[in-house]
Structures are given as structure tokens and as C-alpha cells.
Amino acid sequence: MTGLPIACLAVLLAADAAPPATAAAAPLRAADVALDRAVAERDRAAFAALLTPDTYWSSGGSPIIGPEAVLRDWDDFFQPGGPTLRWAPDRAEVAASGDLGFTVGTWTLTARAPDGTPLRRTGQYVTVWGRAGGAYRVLVDSSLQPPAGPTGEGVRTPERRATAASGELRMEAGRYALSQGGETGTYLVVIRAAGGHDQVLVETLVPAPRAK
């Protein structure tokens, strides 16, 4: 557990700062598209096949760990007539070793409120993928929230870490707690080592819902 300044709820570097897409990232994009298709077709088996055994999902500000827990949390999306969630990657980057990468994109949720009123929401996401046995699977998934300005000092507790075999790309995910205000939630940061310096490629903090 380490103390550190938490600058904002989410930081996503500008798109023009990202390196151009390469052929190496094509399988990563394909995996992301396949995950979206599994949800669109309400195919539990296809969805589960794209998750690692210890997959870590933090889109709601609290960790959901393992395929069974994720499937329970996402159950409504696999029910006939349930809400629809679609997404597409806008950005994909992969380590030189090909065993670690991430995608960033936009999601759209279509559902109905309890009174039948149609609902439509959009947002951004980041997914970190690991490659084993020739296939990419989800290591960590998180939503990206709009920046909300400085939030003061905080503490982060890492719960997932991964580093590419080539060494230049790594990620860390876990829980955070702000020193003031009592806010807690989950975080994810993806870092590239270049020229002896660390460059944050994607960073997001997702607050947990506050008790009423």
C-alpha cells in the first residue's frame, strides 16, 4: 500500500499522442470486437471464453473477480429482452512481446427504466488483455470517467499487476481511498517505459457508490 497524489478521476492521453495502429494490434482489436459480439448475441459461453481465470472488472467502482462473478453481474445482458450493451475499440496498443496490450473505446447502453421509459447512455472503457496459448483474454476491464479536477491525497492498494515479457508495457489495478471526503473506488493505470522514463498511457479512477 502506497500513498500518492490522485490528480483526477480519469486521465486519458490525447488521441494524437497515441502511436499509430499497427498490424500487431489487429488481433487485440479482434478480441475486443469478439467480446462485444458475445454480449450482443447474449452468448454466455463465448463471453466467458474471453476472460482469464482471475479476470478483474472494476467498472462499478468495486472489484468483480473471476468469470463466474462477472457473469452474475452481467446477467441482465444475457437475458432475452434484456438491456443491450455495445462497444467498439477506438485505440489498441500491444507490447513488442505480444503478451500484453490494451484497448480503449466507446460503449452505448440501451435499456428501459422501471416505468418503461427508454434509456440510452454512452461512455468510455479501457480493457487490458493478456495473451496465452495464442489467444487474448481480459485481464482487467474498467470504465473511463470524465476528469473531475484535483481530488487531493490518496492511498492506492494494488490487487493486479502485469508486465509484458518485453518489459516496456505494464499495468496495475486495485483499490484507492481518498484522504479527505472518504471516497473509495477502483483504479487502473497502464504505463509504457520509454527512454528511461515512465509514460502514463491510460489512467482511470472509478468511485464506488456511496451509501445513502
Q: pLDDT (tens digit, 9 = 90+) per residue, 108-126?
A: 999 998 888 999 999 999 9
- The whole-number pLDDT of residue 151 equals 54
For the chain, what is the domain count?
Answer: 1
pLDDT at 187 over 60: yes
| pLDDT attached to residue 15 | 35
Specify if 170 maps to a domain: yes
User: Does residue 212 lie within any of the structural domains?
Assistant: no
The residue that leads in pLDDT, 6 or 19, is: 19
> What's the average model confidence in pLDDT over 158-182?
93
In a domain, 193, yes or no: yes
Residue 168 lies inside a defined structural domain of this protein: yes
Assigned domain for 139 exists = yes
| Mean pLDDT, rounded, of the chain | 87
Note down the domain range covering 47. Answer: 2-207
Distances (CA, A) of 36 to 88, 97, 126, 138, 141: 7, 25, 13, 12, 13
60: CATH: 3.10.450.50
For residue 91, being part of any structural domain is answered with yes
Mean pLDDT (whole number) for 6-20: 39
User: pTM for the full model?
Assistant: 0.87
How far is residue 197's CA from residue 182's CA, in Å, rounded to a whole number? 33
